[in-house]
Every structure is written in C-alpha cells, then in structure tokens.
Structure 1
C-alpha cells in the first residue's frame, strides 16, 4: 500500500540529513579534522547530523505505521510537519556558535511531542483494530 504522506516527509527529512552531512564534511575539511570532533564547530556539526540520524528513522517508522493503520491524512501531515520543524529547529539551534538554546529546546520539544502523540495515536489505532 502506498504511503504518500510518509514518502513526502521521508524525502524532506532525507534532504535535511544530506544538508547536515555536507556541513560535517565542510567543517572537517575547514578545520583539517579527519576523525573525531576536537574543534567545537566540527563537534556541533557532527552532533546536529548524529541527532538527526538518531531520531528520524523512528519518526518515519511511526508516520508510516500511522498512515498505514488509517490515521487521516490531516493527522499524518500535522505530525509530519511538526516532526520536520522540530528536526530543523534542533539542527539550527545546536549548530550555532554560540548555541541558540531556545531553538534547540523547541526542536527537541516538538520531536518528543510528535513521538509521544504518534505513539499514543498508534496504540489507539491498534487497539481499535484489535477490538473492532
């Protein structure tokens, strides 16, 4: 079964991941760092990229399962938009020197809200399906 909403957010988040990957490569070249993150700007780029890699797969799996279980398109798009915004805001906040903590915090807050709301919605859909 096609999952067009999930596919949209997967494409957009893959774009974000690519941008963050390129930033890591550029910072490593700029500061001549092949491995590790001994320079603070390299470390910030690495962590923005790593954090994206840590949260995006679970978020996309959750969106895909919600869409596949029949969550209305508006719900999938609301969660997908909030998740994408959270990931962008977090990456922006953590990448800045000095760090912009409010954007990093807002980004993680949106990410956690989507994961929590999505998990609750998915559990509700699974229970409704099992009992229905």
Structure 2
C-alpha cells in the first residue's frame, strides 16, 4: 500500500479552484489522507467552512488573519474572526505571521495581529500555522514568549 500524506497548506477554497474543485479533490484524495485549509481573512472564512462541511474528515480548516491581509481594519477583522473560534472544529490558528516582503509599513499591525492570534492558540490549545517572509527574526522574537517549555 502506498504511503499517503497530509497537505498542510492548500487554499483550495479560493475562486481560482471553483471551476474544477471536484477534480482537484479527487486528485488530492488519491495521494492525501487530509488537506488543511489555512484561512486568509474574514471574507474567506465562509468558503473554508463550506469546504470543511462538503468533505468532512478530509478538509480541515484553520482560522486566522494572514499577514498580507492585515490592513487598517485588522482589529475589526480579528474581533469578528474570534467570534468563530468555537463554532467549528479548527485544527490550527492560521495562517498567521509577519510578511515584510512587499510592505514594511504594516509591521506594527502585523505584530499586534500575530500576538493576538498566538493568544488564541494558547487559549484554544491549537498549533499556529506560521507564515513569514523577510521577517524570520521579527517573527521568532514575537513568538518567543509562547514557546513550549519542558
């Protein structure tokens, strides 16, 4: 029997995949036991949930605010996302982190969003799915207080 893996990062809930999602799911099932869906922001959450409900036990959702989606309204986004923390069986908080590749001016917002979501992970006993680009030291520094000890 062939070994089957877990796809830990697939944005299959995006409209790019809508036309052939059934075929994509069929192909994924041939090689994967499960697919994890990292959320991007409040607007993508319904699509993540829809896919989780359409293929329970295969598609598993994460909840979070992606660093590239951290904008001026990030506090509102986080407040609204937080209302959904217990509504579904999330497998992680994500995709969260720091991305300084395109724009360093949002670093303070991204840092605040990351630490806020790290608190969710602690409270919900869930892992973080972390995205960082051009921000390794910054990300590690922000997450150091949340490191598992022992």
Shorter chain as normaliser: what TM range?
under 0.3
Larger % of helix: which?
A: 1
If asked which structure has higher relative contact order (CA below 8 Å, sep 6+), I would say 1
- Greater strand percent: which structure? 2
What TM-score does the superposition give when structure 2 sets the normalisation length?
Answer: 0.22
